[in-house]
Amino acid sequence: MAIFELSYIRPLYVLLIAAALMSFAAYAGDWLRHHRARPDTSEGKDMKVILPAALTLLGLIIGFSFSMAAGRYDQRKALEEDEANAIGTEYVLADLVPPAAQIHQLLRDYTEQRILFYELRGGPKLAQVEADTQALQAQLWNAVVPVAKSTPTPTVALVVKGMNDVLNSQGYAEAMWRNRLPPGAWLLMLMVGMFCALLFGYSEERRGRKRLLLLPVILAISMGLIGDMDSPRLGLIHVVPHNLIALQASLL
């Protein structure tokens, strides 16, 4: 399944591989049409039924896959907003406990790391950001635990709950970044796409070999767009942390 996980690395690879495989299938269909043993008069009628039906099925599969990728993209945006709200709320609640200045500074540093998480596209710096985020989470929690133990009041409990929301929101956001289209969906799209390209190449209605590339290119662009949207860190479509950036400006 490694081939179908290329969208996890570079969405452009999805477009190029899909275009290459479906173009090969289209030209293979054209070759079969020209080298068939005996023309069958009923083939034309059959193709007029099979090819539109196959293309309709492929359109449904691509549509469902696009909907799944778009839904995950929308969820990533919503969880980024939840993170900003949780941090902003805890920043205000920190005024209710003695180490307010310490918590405020830690939350400012934490917000900066969360912005970097959304903006970085990979590399060793991302691993450093994740390590710094975990360290700041430990410091944030350790800042409220002594107060909760020494002064177990409803007010302190509210601050502790707010801190818990800050930590949980980060976990939910990163879990959604790892939630991708399953390899089986990519395999199904590619297999049906190649079958449609093969039928398109075999079709009597199509004239001219240059037109063989029309369907593969259109399908490859569609799959490339799905791969782009499904790849949160690479590609052209990604979540911009507008809410966290606005929060950072208000915390200074």
Contact assessment for residue 83 and residue 170, using Cβ atoms and an 8 Å cutoff: yes
Q: What is the pLDDT of residue 8?
A: 55
- Please tell me the predicted confidence (pLDDT) of residue 139: 96
**Domains of the chain by residue range:** 2-33+43-71+182-230, 75-179+238-251
> If we measure between CA atoms, which residue out of 197, 203, 177 comes closest to residue 33?
203
Write down the pLDDT at residue 211: 81
Q: In the prediction, which pLDDT does 1 show?
A: 42
Q: So what's the pLDDT on residue 43? A: 59
Whether the Cβ atoms of residue 225 and residue 108 lie closer than 8 Å to each other: no
* pLDDT tens sequence for the chain (252 residues): 444 445 555 788 888 889 999 999 999 988 888 777 555 555 566 777 888 899 999 999 999 999 999 999 999 999 999 999 999 999 999 999 988 999 999 999 999 999 999 998 877 898 999 999 999 999 999 999 999 999 899 999 999 999 999 999 999 999 999 888 888 888 999 999 999 999 988 876 555 677 888 899 999 999 999 999 988 888 788 899 999 999 999 987
Rounded CA gap, 43 and 28, in Å?
Answer: 17
pLDDT at 163: 96
Question: Mind spelling out the 3-state secondary structure of the chain?
Answer: CHHHHHHHCCHHHHHHHHHHHHHHHHHHHHHHHHCCCCCCCCHHHHHHHHHHHHHHHHHHHHHHHHHHHHHHHHHHHHHHHHHHHHHHHHHHHHHHCCCHHHHHHHHHHHHHHHHHHHHCCCCHHHHHHHHHHHHHHHHHHHHHHHHHHHCCCHHHHHHHHHHHHHHHHHHHHHHHHCCCCCHHHHHHHHHHHHHHHHHHHHCCCCCCHHHHHHHHHHHHHHHHHHHHHHCCCCCCCCCCCHHHHHHHHHHC
Measured distance CA(1)–CA(8) in Å, rounded: 12
